[in-house]
Structure 1
Amino acid sequence: MKKLLKLLAIFLLFSSIISSSAMASSTRTITDMTGEKIKIPKKVNRVADLWHANNQVVLLLGGQNKLVATTPLVKKQHWFTMVDPKIAKVAAPLAGNQIQVEELVKIKPDVVIASDQAQIKESRQAKLPTVNAMYTDFAGLKKSVTLTAEILGGNSPKIARQYNKELTNNINLVKQHLKSRKSTPTVLHIVNSTDLTKVDGQKTIVNEWIKLAGGKNAISKKGNQISVTPEELIKVNPDVIIVGSTSTAQARKALRANSQLSHLKAVRENKVYGNPQGTFPWDRYSAEEALQVLWAAKTLHPQEMKNINMVSEVQKFYQKYYHYNLTAKQAKQILAGGN
């Protein structure tokens, strides 16, 4: 009996070691954008992406077939659905910003990607491996793209390196072209056309591309999507106004219809532009920031950037990363901020 118990104990010990070893070999540890170390499966086949913007990164990296959960907003993005029609059938287990946890668990994702702290906490409480991919500047964008590629595996890391190199090259190209520029126009970036007093200030990715494009942010306050008064906007009286999530035509119409803001210099001189939006709006948290820096520089300094053909740049980008052939007309629609 003692011998039998001893043999049983040895068997259980070896079984435990083998089981632990098998588990270790089937998982890997990655470090998310906050420095948190997360154990994820060695091979990831099912991704729940709860951050609107990161779904576009997954698409860029060729991992869209692994998406088993997305967000309602992504499913409404016109150019995303054009490039990847299958996104319409992907589950979106969110009610506003609230995760429908039971629905998410039923989907059985290998990894959850998110940016919202409350969502991350809730997902981790449900014992789902959850990665924070949030960033706030261009350096963070590159790091987040690399992180997403690491999660997806396969060919994605190679595409990420290619994309990060292209982003760096475009930034350097703009710097080169604008070396001898004669002016630095003041630029106001309005979040959208429905609230013309919600703007983007200092210490934001918006501020970063305004500076890279040879402009100066008209707003001196710090922060994303901050509220200001019409009087403050009248005081700064920007040279150029860029409005997110709308077309150039709609942006100009909205500002002309505003009794206080219609007198701004940029409105009077027709220097109001809808920010381009493709598979995701270019102005914040977008992989298409690689195109944004070129567009913003050409918008602010057309003479210095005259050799850059934005229609061609958009077409090349979509073909290269999304394997989608845009017509010149479609590329112009994206550049005008419309669908």
Structure 2
Amino acid sequence: MKLKKWLLATALSLSLTANLALAKTITDVKGKSVEIPDQVERVVDLWHANNQVVLLLGGADKLVGTTNIIKSNPWFNLVYPNIKNVPAINSQNSTQLEELIVAKPDVVLVSNKPAQEEVEKAGLKALLIGFQNFDGLKNTVRITADVLGDKAPAIAEDYIKELEANIALVNERLKDVPQEKRPTVIHISNGSNLYKIDGGRSIIGEWVKLGGGRNAFEDQANLVEVSVEDVLKANPDVVIVGSQNADKAVEQIKQDPLWVSVSAVKNNRVFVNPTGTFPWDRYSAEEALQILWVAKLLHPTLFEDINMVARTQQFYKKYYDYDLSKENAEQILKGQDPVK
């Protein structure tokens, strides 16, 4: 087995050396410069969320390796059915080196330093991507576009303009709303644990603030465990539940006697976060829609004219070239799977 890996790695290294005669240098999110082929045709993306960025940038046909989470995402499968033919090359965040080598990628996109080092030990080119705020999102979109080449950089700039325009629209309409009129929000990471929240020191905290809310746990990061007492003390005006099992969690919260005194429960302001080709709430290019959604959710009268169904349909047509039905758009906004 070791000899097989060595032979594969040697052959791939020789191939990469030949390809790099025409090369380009990409700087990753940590400032590391990596030389890759000028024309990238084979990409393995080991960060779940960034596969959606590749899709948005028109580069999905270059994917020769993805993740199990993306292969099982029903909206990604609906928009890009060929994902079923792309092998999953990571399982529970453990990179499978032999499968990586067999995939013969021009570049591997990773979200953490250990994965980058592991990939490089196999003789492959690895670029670190990732973000915790909107500036980081824009940077990762641009890096991914530079990797893909072709029309991707132009699409990236178009997307970033749309993202910034949505932020500007929300900022303009909320500029005169005083802090005391901005509801407090708890964002629960997913439906499997009602007490794992995303605080203000995260991209979730950023869009809560942009959308005219106040994160009930302003000084916390993302994926932080809190207690029942912490929730009761925070007494949020709004509760938003993200990712899987969110609809079940909303019903559980409404029926749980521990939550009955919470303002959001008393006023029926417990919501499921939208989920599309990736959950809108974290590490998603569909954050461009999340900003509008949360602003309309928290301040409906100020955003009465914003039609989120139409906006979602337009986004999917523009970036995925997919004609999303009204019914499907409504399901995305409710965090539901596609209609069978």
Where 2:260 maps in the other structure, the secondary structure is helix
* Of 158, 165, 173, the match for 1:162: 158
Who is 2:55 aligned against? 59
Alignment of 1:111-260 (within 5 A): 111-181=107-177, 183-246=181-244, 249-260=247-258
Alignment of 1:280-319 (within 5 A): 280-319=278-317
Structure-2-length-normalised TM-score: 0.91
Deviates more, 1:94-103 or 1:258-267: 258-267
CA contact (8 A) 1:246 1:338 kept: no
Who is 1:69 aligned against? 65
Where 1:139 maps in the other structure, the secondary structure is helix
Q: How many residues align?
A: 319
Who is 2:267 aligned against? 269
Query: 1:36: Cα distance to partner?
Result: 0.6
Query: 1:250: Cα distance to partner?
Result: 2.6
CA contact (8 A) 1:190 1:198 kept: yes
Where 1:120 maps in the other structure, the secondary structure is helix
Who is 2:11 aligned against? none
Where 1:62 maps in the other structure, the secondary structure is coil
Q: Please tell me the residue identity of whatever aligns with 1:87.
A: I
* Of 305, 309, 324, the match for 1:326: 324
Q: What is the CA–CA distance in structure 2 between the aligned matches of 1:24 and 1:71, rounded to whole Å?
A: 27
Query: 1:252: Cα distance to partner?
Result: 2.2
Who is 2:37 aligned against? 41
CA contact (8 A) 1:315 1:326 kept: yes
CA contact (8 A) 2:141 2:156 kept: yes
Q: What is the CA–CA distance in structure 1 between the aligned matches of 2:210 and 2:333, rounded to whole Å?
A: 19
5+ long unaligned stretches in structure 1: 1-20
Larger radius of gyration: 1
Query: 1:247: Cα distance to partner?
Result: 6.9
Query: 1:202: Cα distance to partner?
Result: 2.2
* Of 76, 93, 96, the match for 1:97: 93
Query: 1:127: Cα distance to partner?
Result: 1.3
Q: What is the CA–CA distance in structure 1 between the aligned matches of 2:255 and 2:104, rounded to whole Å?
A: 49
The root-mean-square deviation of aligned C-alpha atoms, in Å, is 1.5
Q: What is the CA–CA distance in structure 1 between the aligned matches of 2:224 and 2:260, rounded to whole Å?
A: 21
Per-residue CA deviations over 1:148-204 (Å, capped at 9, x if unaligned) read 000000000000000000000000011112223361100000001110000011221
Q: Please tell me the residue identity of whatever aligns with 1:146.
A: R
Q: What is the CA–CA distance in structure 1 between the aligned matches of 2:191 and 2:311, rounded to whole Å?
A: 27
Deviates more, 1:22-31 or 1:43-52: 22-31
Q: What is the CA–CA distance in structure 1 between the aligned matches of 2:37 and 2:218, rounded to whole Å?
A: 45
Q: Please tell me the residue identity of whatever aligns with 1:261.
A: W
Q: What is the CA–CA distance in structure 1 between the aligned matches of 2:64 and 2:255, rounded to whole Å?
A: 43
Q: Please tell me the residue identity of whatever aligns with 2:307.
A: N
Q: Please tell me the residue identity of whatever aligns with 1:289.
A: E
Q: What is the CA–CA distance in structure 2 between the aligned matches of 1:246 and 1:328, rounded to whole Å?
A: 22
Query: 1:262: Cα distance to partner?
Result: 3.4
CA contact (8 A) 2:241 2:250 kept: no
Query: 1:131: Cα distance to partner?
Result: 0.5
Structure-1-length-normalised TM-score: 0.91
CA contact (8 A) 1:185 1:214 kept: yes
